[in-house]
Amino acid sequence: GIQVEQSPPDLILQEGANSTLRCNFSDSVNNLQWFHQNPWGQLINLFYIPSGTKQNGRLSATTVATERYSLLYISSSQTTDSGVYFCAVVSGAGGTSYGKLTFGQGTILTVHP
Amino acid sequence: ETGVTQTPRHLVMGMTNKKSLKCEQHLGHNAMYWYKQSAKKPLELMFVYNFKEQTENNSVPSRFSPECPNSSHLFLHLHTLQPEDSALYLCASSQDRGRGREQYFGPGTRLTVT
């Protein structure tokens, strides 16, 4: 099946700093989503971005499908940005036709005041 | 209620107990999913339902039994679980089970098996 690798595994920032999280995937995708998991376990949808670029406030994301990677940018980080960031994809390859999300291992972000 | 809700949020059960997890989506979606998140492992898909029909069982042990009475509700019935089944169980929904559909997650049920 498709492989998803996220980097870095851990990231520590001072409030106000910018950061870039990366997601590499091993095959073509029909769906790519970025999530933020808060300390209570809730997965919050950040972006649905199988290709192209999107922005939402201090967050933006870019997926270059032909090169099989996606980037999540966080600018002017705040302590509330702390948590785990997951990239998840649905393979565009043959076989099953359903939306099975395959998750990466996540990036643990800690923002200090 | 909005989005996807799950109850209970926390559950502690013994290995001989029978319990059920409930998920409800208020998004008008037709596909629902159960995912499992164990410590130090990526989230993994357990079951997929599309228009109330189970379309995928990702090699899940029979001690987990899903039920989808309608497109808005999904249950996960638990019986004779093992301590290694302790995990965060997340429910999700999407418009349908198509590959390109965005999935929305509930807050999860944190299960501890003693």
A101/B99 touch (CB, cutoff 8 Å), yes or no? no
pLDDT beneath 50: ranges in chain B:
none
Neighbour-count burial for B84-111, b at 16+ CB within 10 Å, e otherwise = ebbbbbbbbbbbebebebbbbbbbbbbb
Q: Which two tokens stand for residue A61?
A: 């994301």
Q: Cα–Cα distance between B103 and B63 in angstroms, integer?
A: 26
Q: Cα–Cα distance between B106 and B112 in angstroms, integer?
A: 18
Torsion from C-alpha of B101, A56, A43, A93, nearest 10 degrees: 30
Residue of B nearest to A3 (CA): B42
Looking at chain A, the number of H-run helices and the number of E-run strands are 0, 11
Mention every residue, 6+ apart, whose C-beta is less than 8 A from residue A35.
A43, A44, A45, A46, A85, A86, A87, A88, B105
Look at residue B1 in the predicted model and tell me its pLDDT: 64
Out of B43, B56, B108, name the one closest to residue A42 (CB).
B108
Look at residue A94 in the predicted model and tell me its pLDDT: 61
Pairing state of beta strands A107-112 and A10-14? parallel
Which residues in B have their CB inside 8 Å of a CB on A? 31, 33, 35, 37, 42-45, 48, 50, 55-56, 58, 88, 90, 92, 94, 97-108, 110
Look at residue B54 in the predicted model and tell me its pLDDT: 85
Look at residue A95 in the predicted model and tell me its pLDDT: 59
Out of B31, B44, B102, name the one closest to residue A48 (CB).
B102
| A113 preceded by a cis bond (ω within 30 of 0) | no
Q: Identify the band that residue A97 occupies on the pLDDT scale cut at 50, 70 and 90.
A: low
Size of interface A-B (CB pairs under 8 A): 76
Q: Cα–Cα distance between A61 and A53 in angstroms, integer?
A: 6
Residues of A in contact with B94 (CB under 8 A): 99
Look at residue B105 in the predicted model and tell me its pLDDT: 96
pLDDT in tens, A29-38: 989 999 999 9
